[in-house]
Amino acid sequence: MSGWIAVAGLGPGAPELITPDVAATLEKATDIIGYGPYVARIAQRDGLNLHASDNRVELDRACHALELAASGARVVIVSSGDPGVFAMASALFEAAECWPAPLPEIHVLPGITAMLAAAARAGAPLGHDFCAINLSDNLKPFALIERRLRHAARGDFAMAFYNPRSATRPHQFARVLQILREECNDDRPVIFARAVSTPEESLKTVALPQATPEMADMRTVVLVGNSMTRQVGRWIYTPRRAEAG
Amino acid sequence: MSGWIAVAGLGPGAPELITPDVAATLEKATDIIGYGPYVARIAQRDGLNLHASDNRVELDRACHALELAASGARVVIVSSGDPGVFAMASALFEAAECWPAPLPEIHVLPGITAMLAAAARAGAPLGHDFCAINLSDNLKPFALIERRLRHAARGDFAMAFYNPRSATRPHQFARVLQILREECNDDRPVIFARAVSTPEESLKTVALPQATPEMADMRTVVLVGNSMTRQVGRWIYTPRRAEAG
């Protein structure tokens, strides 16, 4: 029997946002690998081995998946959201570069990524050209984050920020907001969407000058409109039409 | 009985990529509104009215949905992919601005957007910071597209292009490729992903100098790596780690 690896996106939290493709693949798995809180979302059943691991051990997790698949296991690596957006798919391919044997069959199964779940709740703030930026400086220097923020603002992109703030770098998101204030108009809406589609969901929209670092934590995705983003009723949206600026 | 509108993402094509949330909402609908090929994906049943319309009449479609909901209908506006990414959600809120009565209950239901389905097939080319750009100049000047392309390249973002090419503007995508060649290194991978998850699916990866306009059509999403995007086996991925550059 030959093993395989699927890297699957569980979406932002609600079971109704897991694709049937991912659900069917989970049914066929012998082993589930992932960060503890994501593995905890998988129902236990006979013959299924759950391997929960800590944060920041993505490469160990990927190597473990390659070892299990080589011994014939059917392995699903679970990510929250979409596995290709700041999640486990890149880590698996990084590990694959050092893998001494032929690669097993690999499938990447897309999921609903946090920024699109958040945008849907708010209206359509990412309805025109936009950027997705991971604000964690765990694997990249803050200078690169700043460079990307300024290009995103000067290109008048809407923006989505993943991992805006953590306990180990409390001051950095304040600096991000400062850079945005230097580059963007004052009425720019900033949406703090926390734990969308879970019982802890919250959504808060403020104008850029009122945004504070405390409004975000590691379960928050932050969306910033472009220069044309508007409000209608309780909805925030970015029009499809744009000027040269 | 009070009507409502749901703007729902049907994903890139395969039924297994439609979320249970969207499927359950389609079951409750009295009316389905959308571009013909998307409405054609909805199974007919008693009591369900299908309203297929042409391309480029997004505002008419949105007004029709508001009228039907005002008269008590349960309306689903269907988009391919995700409704908030170059699709019907923004058009609905644009129409809502001119709507003379209180807005009905509105829900935006996220879906698997084309770039993430395409990225999953290729590996993880959007595994680091990236931009999504609509290359259609139907609603924005080409000067703005060019400005955004140059900022995206200078920020070393990976990129996803929607609507790269149509019969009415065959030369424009050649200009886009020229701008990318001016801004990016020659080994930059360009992925042409067509009709992902449908029977017509195709995937082709070339280095930037070999990319030609004919490789794309309106069913293609084009992904461009950042300066660190690499290949392992048949997979293209962007590492999670990055330098200041």
CB contact under 8 A, A152 and B147: no
* Per-residue pLDDT at B1: 62
In degrees, rounded to 5, the angle at the alpha carbon of residue B70 between the alpha carbons of residues B68 and B75 is: 40
How is residue B103 annotated by DSSP?
Answer: P
Chain A hits for B20, CB-CB cut-off 8 Å, are: 15-18, 20
Same domain, B121 and B230: yes
Beta strand A189-194 pairing with A220-224: antiparallel
Same domain, A84 and A97: yes
Nearest chain B residue to A129, by CA: B133
Q: What CATH number is attached to the domain comprising A126? A: 3.30.950.10
Mean pLDDT of A165-185: 90
Structural domain count of chain B: 2
- Domain carrying residue B204: 115-237
Same domain, B178 and B227: yes
CB contact under 8 A, A110 and B106: no
- Residue finishing a domain among A112, A140, A165: A112
Distance CA A94, CA A77 (A): 14
Q: With 80 as the cut, is the pLDDT of residue A136 above it? A: yes
Chain B hits for A117, CB-CB cut-off 8 Å, are: 110
**Does residue A242 form part of some domain?**
no
How is residue B42 annotated by DSSP?
Answer: S
pLDDT class of A61 with cuts at 50, 70, 90: very high
pLDDT class of A169 with cuts at 50, 70, 90: confident
* Per-residue pLDDT at B244: 63
pLDDT class of A244 with cuts at 50, 70, 90: low
Distance CA A198, CA A104 (A): 34
Provide the strand spans (E) within B163-233: 189-194, 202-207, 220-224, 230-232
**Does residue A95 form part of some domain?**
yes
- Chain A nearest-CA distance from B66, in A, is 14
Same domain, A141 and A102: no
Partners of residue B123 on adjacent β-strands? B236
- Residue finishing a domain among A82, A112, A142: A112
pLDDT class of A245 with cuts at 50, 70, 90: low
CB contact under 8 A, B93 and A58: no
Q: With 90 as the cut, is the pLDDT of residue A65 above it? A: yes
- Residue finishing a domain among A65, A93, A112: A112
Token pair listed for B156: 């070393």
CB atoms within 10 A of CB A63: 18
**A95-111: pLDDT as tens digits:** 999 999 999 999 999 99
Same domain, A149 and A78: no
Q: With 70 as the cut, is the pLDDT of residue A43 above it? A: yes
**Does residue B244 form part of some domain?**
no
Mean pLDDT of A116-144: 95
Same domain, A17 and A93: yes
Mean pLDDT of A109-136: 97
Chain A hits for B132, CB-CB cut-off 8 Å, are: 126, 129-132
CB contact under 8 A, B151 and A151: yes
- Chain A nearest-CA distance from B80, in A, is 14
Run means of pLDDT, 10 residues per run, chain B, 245 residues? 93 98 98 97 96 92 97 98 97 96 97 98 98 90 95 98 84 94 96 98 98 94 97 96 72
Mean pLDDT score of chain A: 95
* Per-residue pLDDT at A40: 96
**Does residue B142 form part of some domain?**
yes
Residues B17/A19, Cβ–Cβ less than 8 Å: yes
CB contact under 8 A, A232 and B154: no
Block residue for tokens 């604000």: A135
* Per-residue pLDDT at A109: 98
Residue A242 has its nearest CB partner, among B92, B139, B155, at B139
Same domain, B106 and B129: no
Nearest chain B residue to A232, by CA: B97
